[in-house]
Structure 1
Amino acid sequence: MQPDTVLITGGAHTRFGPHCEKDRETGKRIDTYPQEQMLADVVDGALTGADLDAATIDAVYVGSCSPGAFSHQELLAPLALERCSALRFKPVHQSTAACASSSAALHAAADALQSGRIQAALVVGIEKMSLLSTPQVTEVLGRCSYWPEESSTGMTFPGLFATLGEHYRQYNGISPERYREMLATVAATNYRRGIRNPLAQFGPGSLAETAALTSAAAILELPEEKNPLIAAPLRLHDCSPISDGAVALVLVRGDSGLKGQHAAALRGRAISTDYLPLSRRPALHKLEGARESVLRAYREAGISAGDLDLAEVHDCFTSNQLLCIEALGLSDEGCAGEDYLAGEHDKDARCQINLSGGLKSKGHPVGATGASMHYFAYRQLTGQAVGTAHPGNPELAAVLNIGGSGVVNCTTILQAV
């Protein structure tokens, strides 16, 4: 291991879901798990998991998509210090990159660690979304698209990803009926994994389990009122849910002497940023920015797709899971859907995808998502799987986290050490 190798050596994760109650008389939403408490819980948990004192941390990096709009607290990152007085006066950085906010925070922390400027960092991802109504959440998330051409014309994020998916379907000559079956298979696969994850929004005892939504047939047979069209052809069960949640990770340099009992190395990583407007991109049937990020991360890690044992991919919508799998090279272009239908990405696959249940099943508190994906990969690689465990002894994992409509693309290759 190189001296400047960056290690994840501890983490903590709240349960994802809508942590609020609605007053039946007034309609007011009552916060049952405030974000300050979520922050405190995961900071404490991550430090305990890493067996480190807060005083050891040199810098804190917090990712959150839109805390001002969601919770009226734009300057959110300093609240990570509240529980630990030893963190007072440490540098605190706040990142916003839509759904890739906490991956951007993690990459920034890793840069500082590799430079030698710091020895230990705390990375936090957080979002509190459920205090707003669904239309309000849709409007806030729309600010992460290109306003002049997209949000201002009524285009939503389901609409943006439906557009990408339709370009994919048409470019590859897939019939609407076949495509619908592919998307339902992706949703069912993630539900099957998610119902075993106690931290997932659609975890044990949730609708996914009680309504037996663990097969494509069950989803395809749902009546319109239980699986309404959101943005053609995407339906309710193609969309990740509105969620609250927080995740914290402790990162250290390999030569710091702070490794701890459970550690996974960041072997390769890259961020690739594409044009914000969809209208500027020449090939909407694939995630070109994600593919560029993946290739650079593979080169740095010295691996190829065939070396991966597991991957956490950004399935904000079922259609995007197909695109992400192809960006990672785990399916050939235009073939991910057929591979799903053939069982190539099921329990016997060489590379296990979204063992956590993915965003679709686990939940998608946008600022916490990137950190969550890294957390679940880290837990698998260190023999501490949460929920569905990899059937073997995984050595290499990929995390592909995307912000916006394929705009900020963050890839990390993690290795067991």
Structure 2
Amino acid sequence: MRDVYVIGTSCTPFGKRPGDGFKDLTREAYLEVLQDAGLETGDGIEQAWFGNCGMGTFGQRNIRGQVCFTPLVREGLFPERVPMINVEGGCATASMAFHGAWKDVASGDMEMSLAIGVEKTFVPGDAERTLEIFEGGIDQLDPGEWHDYYAEKGREAGKPFEANGGGGTVFMNTYAMQAAWHMKHYGTTQEQIAIAASKNHWHGSMNPKAQYRFEVSVEEALADRDISWPLTRAMCAPIGDGAAAAILVSGDRLAGMDRAVRERAIKVRGSVLTGGKYRAADEPGLSRVAAQKAYAKSGLSPTDVDLVEVHDATSFCEIFQLEMLGFAEDGKGGAFVGDGNTRLDGRLPVNLSGGLVSKGHPVGATGLSMIHELALQLRGEAGARQADRARIALAENGGGVIGFDEAACSVILLEGPAA
């Protein structure tokens, strides 16, 4: 396998953007990633991976990427006849697109590949359409299977399963059951979950592209409206729109590029995908398997990692994923967060973008927005939220649900430019 480098990343501002369509968001992310990579057009791109979950709800069920890129091809900004692969993997969609582009280059099949994720989940006055987008992330062919599973796990957690309780999606209720189980078995507290939420809202307040750019105290997070106990609104990712992208190249192609591009290139140390299953409540999740494979393939370990972006669809997820990724012992993630380790000024900054709860979560774009944040950090370009001594970074992104697992999980390890 060849070395692979990220030469450009982009991320649109996330938020409720009813005036912008899929083609608008595609254009915005694509032109920005070209600029970041020092390219005027995409003439060197040999393949593209287009991630999206919900466009079918808007009537475009097939050839989504080809449709969104047609104006860019017509204008000479994207090359003609380039194959575009449409990708869908729930909230892990954009990371799957990244993985495809990485494999293009690592395998030697391509010298330059594009990954882009585009999503709209906010539909003014049509909550049913928004719900339809998210319902695609769980088994609709045999719903009785997960109803039975969650009923059993709810009894184990001491929190009955509510398919539509609390005003959130079914996913918020499953996360809440997992949090309740963790609290029951390990002593994790609601306050520790609130600390994670407050910390990420603080980080997000410094991110000009975050959907929520205001701070939330621990007390305010605890007092906010309940979504599904122990989760309040401040602990849950919002509905929104956005897009993000990355351009990946081989070492050979990078060597022939301008010095300014070479000096900002981010090396991909590893990219791994895993699949979910119906697991026992005390069984490790699929992100642990992905992380262990990524560490083994890269020759790295958790102690080598300087900063992390995790998929905090709820703030409990951050606590759990820190355990799965090897940064905290099982059952100790709450204390790890509560002690301040994951703050910008802590020993392992986590979700400096603001995470999903503050930056936002346009599902088909989320994974690449994590790559964008980590690239900024590794290049020293993150402004007020810049971490110190950032050289190795990890992104964890999960999508869909199968029981207490995500349906798919991505772990990506990146290495910053030499000082």
Q: Do Structure 1 and Structure 2 share a fold, with TM-score over 0.5?
A: yes
Counterparts of 1:285 and 1:193, CA distance in 2: 31
Matches within 5 A, 1:343-358: 343-358=340-355
Contact 1:142-1:157 within 8 A present in 2 as well: no
Which AA in structure 1 matches 2:415? Q
Q: Secondary structure at the match of 2:113?
A: strand
1:57 to 33, 41, 45: 45
Instruction: Indicate the residue corresponding to 1:265 in structure 2.
Output: 267
Contact 1:145-1:151 within 8 A present in 2 as well: no
Counterparts of 2:147 and 2:100, CA distance in 1: 29
Q: CA deviation at 1:377?
A: 0.5
Instruction: Indicate the residue corresponding to 2:398 in structure 1.
Output: 402
Which AA in structure 1 matches 2:414? L
Change (3 A) 1:38 1:200: same
Which AA in structure 2 matches 1:126? V
Q: Deviations over 1:306-339 (max 9, x none)?
A: 1111000000011111111111111111111112
**TM-score of the two chains, using structure 2 as the length reference:** 0.86
Instruction: Indicate the residue corresponding to 1:83 in structure 2.
Output: 72
Give 5+ residue unaligned stretches, structure 1. Answer: 21-31
Which AA in structure 1 matches 2:163? G
Counterparts of 1:51 and 1:182, CA distance in 2: 43
Q: Deviations over 1:265-302 (max 9, x none)?
A: 11012111111xxxx212x2565200000000011111
Instruction: Indicate the residue corresponding to 2:304 in structure 1.
Output: 307
Contact 1:171-1:285 within 8 A present in 2 as well: no
Contact 1:58-1:121 within 8 A present in 2 as well: yes
Q: Secondary structure at the match of 1:352?
A: coil
Contact 1:81-1:87 within 8 A present in 2 as well: no
Counterparts of 2:131 and 2:228, CA distance in 1: 13
Counterparts of 2:118 and 2:100, CA distance in 1: 16
Q: CA deviation at 1:39?
A: 0.5
Q: CA deviation at 1:345?
A: 2.2
Instruction: Indicate the residue corresponding to 1:192 in structure 2.
Output: 202
Percent pairwise identity: 28
Counterparts of 1:230 and 1:135, CA distance in 2: 18
Matches within 5 A, 1:54-203: 54-69=42-57, 71-74=58-61, 75-78=63-66, 79-84=68-73, 85=76, 86-131=78-123, 133-147=126-140, 148-149=143-144, 150=146, 154=163, 156-174=170-188, 179-203=189-213
Which AA in structure 2 matches 1:35? F
2:24 to 21, 37, 40: 37
Deviates more, 1:143-152 or 1:325-334: 143-152
Which AA in structure 2 matches 1:252? V
Q: Deviations over 1:332-360 (max 9, x none)?
A: 11111112222222233222101110011
Change (3 A) 1:151 1:373: farther
Counterparts of 2:248 and 2:44, CA distance in 1: 11
Instruction: Indicate the residue corresponding to 1:385 in structure 2.
Output: 382
Counterparts of 1:396 and 1:121, CA distance in 2: 23
Counterparts of 1:99 and 1:129, CA distance in 2: 12
Counterparts of 1:135 and 1:165, CA distance in 2: 27
Q: CA deviation at 1:231?
A: 1.9
Instruction: Indicate the residue corresponding to 2:155 in structure 1.
Output: none
Q: CA deviation at 1:139?
A: 3.8
Counterparts of 1:98 and 1:365, CA distance in 2: 11
Counterparts of 2:104 and 2:128, CA distance in 1: 39
Instruction: Indicate the residue corresponding to 1:5 in structure 2.
Output: 3
Matches within 5 A, 1:221-232: 222=223, 227-232=224-229
Contact 1:346-1:352 within 8 A present in 2 as well: yes
Q: Deviations over 1:65-96 (max 9, x none)?
A: 22212x32223111134224342210001110
Instruction: Indicate the residue corresponding to 1:234 in structure 2.
Output: 231
Q: CA deviation at 1:180?
A: 1.4
Counterparts of 2:267 and 2:98, CA distance in 1: 13
Deviates more, 1:400-409 or 1:288-297: 400-409
Change (3 A) 1:80 1:108: same
